[in-house]
Chain A
Amino acid sequence: MLYAILCYDDEASVCSWTKEEDDAVMSRLAVVQQRLAREGKLGPVARLLPTTAATTLRKSREDLVIDGPYAETKEQLLGFYIVDVAGLDEALEIARELGRAKPSKGSYEIRPVGLLNPVTADGLETA
């Protein structure tokens, strides 16, 4: 079962980490990621740049391009993981483990994936 683990946190707070703190968090997360990869459970992982670098396209009557994230929220979407696990419990356990690697609080949204399309030049890749 494929799940997306969406990571939400206060980006102002995350941007206030020193480089050493940031590096330490990233290397702790890497340990979790490497284990998942060894077990064949890890799909794409992304860390997103701050929402100040985001642009939003609103599909209204006329094409409307807005600077900034889709929604102004207290906590922002800062990254995501795709994991291939037995079920929700295992996905939650991974999220907990990722959470322990990070000193900040924030939240994880665990969303089942309906379709994951790795597209190659020849068309859809059939796994």
Chain B
Amino acid sequence: MTTDLAWIDAAITAARPQAVGALLRYFRDLDTAEEAFQDACLRALKAWPKNGPPRDPAAWLIMVGRNAALDGVRKRSRNEALPDEERLSDLDDVETPMAERLDGSDYRDDVLRLLFICCHPDLPATQQIALALRIVSGLTVKQIARAFLVSEAAMEQRITRAKRVVAAADVPFETPGAIERSERVGAVAAMIYLVFNEGYSAGDNSARAQLCDEAIRLARLLLRLFQTEPEIMGLLALMLLQHARTPARFDAEGEIILLEDQDRALWARQPIAEGLALMDKAMRHGRPGPYQAQAAIAALHARAARPEDTDWAQIDLLYAALERMQPSPVVTLNRAVAVMKVKGPQVALEMIEPLAGRLAGYFHFFGVKGALLLQLGREAEAKAAFDQAIALANTTAEATHIRKHLDRLIQDSRAAGVRAAG
């Protein structure tokens, strides 16, 4: 029955981080853990529709996976002694309720270890993301390859390379100390936000847009491990509030609709409610951070029923805070948009001009610059900026969006020309 399959699929996806994490604790090898989990999933697809679902899918998958992997080891080394009695006796009672045996602290450590391994400091961000999507989220190599617009072979290679680095790095199986831990949690959060942004910038390409849902799932997982960490609340809130706009972000032709022009009735209300609730929780801690600041900005947009209700002065202040916490030309560029609303295009333009060197390859820089110049009536310069933006566009939606600006500019100047002539 299809509903059964949908349920099994969701249950396996939900159980995956815990199950792979526990199998990794047993076997201390990512490939073995993954194969064991894969094996358990195949058996689940056969057994669950027939025998009914187990009470605790994760525990079932862990036991069956462990059993299968040990079986494999036995077959590969027939001459070696069988595993000792104690281990074997654990394997026979797969169907017994396991809930009591898997305590909460194991769950926490197992999932955390898995996330830390994927975000190992020796791995570049691209490999961290690929590894996390493969190991924690369980996307297929093909799905990940499609999301990152590379060939399947290239993605396979990227993941294999990442696994080799992790294996060689001799990952500690003990929970790291407090300082290292907070650094590693920060790396996991950053990885999750990168996954989200890959999806968010994808336009209406559904293979890539799926990454947003994946990132939100990973952030929920991380927040469940760190229930009291305001920055993780901020991260999840930020992604929920941005993702809520998805139904309004593109028109029928797949072209970008600017925040100001979006039909706000299309914004998804449930993620907005969840995002706002998380921000309320985070604020109580009085420990601001970059994710909270960005989420607070997104929350101000979400709270504005109409674009003209937007509290741009507050957004300007939040960007200023973000600039102090996390100085970056991109943050300044974003702040310039708020400054334009509050103090006018001239002040905003002066703010972004010093960024020209560092953002010379950045699509949005030229988009914003063009828009500011246009407002100031400097049309020739605006056109040059829009041309550069088109040359740097990452997606056709981005290019089309700027081209519309250009068309309007050309039309206006023609109309002006006609007026001047007449």
Q: Which residues of B contact A12 (CB under 8 A)?
A: 14-15, 220-221
Which residues from 279 to 309 on chain B have a C-beta closer than 8 Å to any C-beta of chain A?
281, 284
**B329 at the A interface (CB under 8 A):** no
Q: Which residues of B contact A55 (CB under 8 A)?
A: 281
Stretch at the interface among A37-45, A67-75, A81-89, A116-124: A67-75
Q: Which 4 interchain pairs have the tightest Cβ spacing?
A: A103-B7, A12-B14, A103-B3, A68-B227
Q: Mark B1-42, 1 if CB is under 8 A from A, else 0.
A: 001101101110111000000000000000000000000000
Minimum CB distance partner of A56 in chain B: B227
Minimum CB distance partner of A50 in chain B: B220
Q: Is the CB of A16 within 8 A of B217?
A: yes
Nearest Cβ on chain B to A10's Cβ, whole angstroms:
6
Q: Is the CB of A13 within 8 A of B6?
A: no
Q: Is the CB of B273 within 8 A of A67?
A: no
Excluding A17-B6, A103-B4, 6 further A-B contacts by CB distance (< 8 Å) are: A13-B10, A13-B13, A52-B236, A67-B227, A103-B10, A104-B11
Q: Is the CB of A72 within 8 A of B104?
A: yes
Provide the bound-state CA to CA distance between A72 and B103, in Å. 11
Provide the bound-state CA to CA distance between A74 and B98, in Å. 12
**A14 at the B interface (CB under 8 A):** yes
**B53 at the A interface (CB under 8 A):** yes
Nearest Cβ on chain A to B50's Cβ, whole angstroms:
15
Provide the bound-state CA to CA distance between A67 and B53, in Å. 32
Which of the residues A16, A17, A49, A52 comes within 8 Å of B224, measured between beta carbons?
A: A52
Also in contact, A105 and B53, with CB within 8 A (given A21-B10, A52-B236): yes
Q: Is the CB of B11 within 8 A of A10?
A: yes
Nearest Cβ on chain B to A56's Cβ, whole angstroms:
10
Q: Which residues of A contact B233 (CB under 8 A)?
A: 67
Interface size on A, residues (CB 8 A): 25
Which of the residues B10, B221, B277 comes within 8 Å of A17, measured between beta carbons?
A: B10
Q: Is the CB of B284 within 8 A of A104?
A: no
Q: Is the CB of B13 within 8 A of A16?
A: yes
Contact count A vs B, C-beta below 8 Å: 69
Provide the bound-state CA to CA distance between A17 and B7, in Å. 8
- Size bracket of the B interface: 20 to 34
Nearest Cβ on chain B to A17's Cβ, whole angstroms:
5
Which residues from 327 to 377 on chain B have a C-beta closer than 8 Å to any C-beta of chain A?
none
Minimum CB distance partner of B282 in chain A: A67
Q: Mark B253-264, 1 if CB is under 8 A from A, else 0.
A: 000000000000
**A53 at the B interface (CB under 8 A):** yes
Provide the bound-state CA to CA distance between A50 and B228, in Å. 15
Which of the residues A16, A21, A49, A74 comes within 8 Å of B274, measured between beta carbons?
A: A49
Provide the bound-state CA to CA distance between A103 and B4, in Å. 6
Q: Which residues of A contact B270 (CB under 8 A)?
A: 49
Q: Which residues of A contact B220 (CB under 8 A)?
A: 12, 15, 50, 52
Q: Which residues of B contact A14 (CB under 8 A)?
A: 10
Which residues from 73 to 126 on chain A have a C-beta closer than 8 Å to any C-beta of chain B?
74, 103-105
Q: Is the CB of B278 within 8 A of A53?
A: yes
Greatest chain A CB density within 10 A among B4, B14, B223 is at B14
Q: Which residues of B contact A19 (CB under 8 A)?
A: 213
Which residues from 8 to 61 on chain A have a C-beta closer than 8 Å to any C-beta of chain B?
10, 12-19, 21, 49-53, 55
Q: Which residues of B contact A16 (CB under 8 A)?
A: 9-11, 13-14, 217
Provide the bound-state CA to CA distance between A40 and B277, in Å. 33
Q: Which residues of A contact B13 (CB under 8 A)?
A: 13, 16
User: 27 interchain pairs (CB within 8 A)?
Assistant: A10-B14, A10-B57, A12-B14, A12-B15, A12-B220, A12-B221, A13-B15, A15-B14, A16-B9, A17-B10, A18-B213, A19-B213, A21-B10, A49-B277, A52-B224, A52-B227, A52-B236, A52-B278, A66-B228, A67-B233, A68-B228, A72-B104, A74-B99, A103-B4, A103-B7, A104-B7, A105-B53
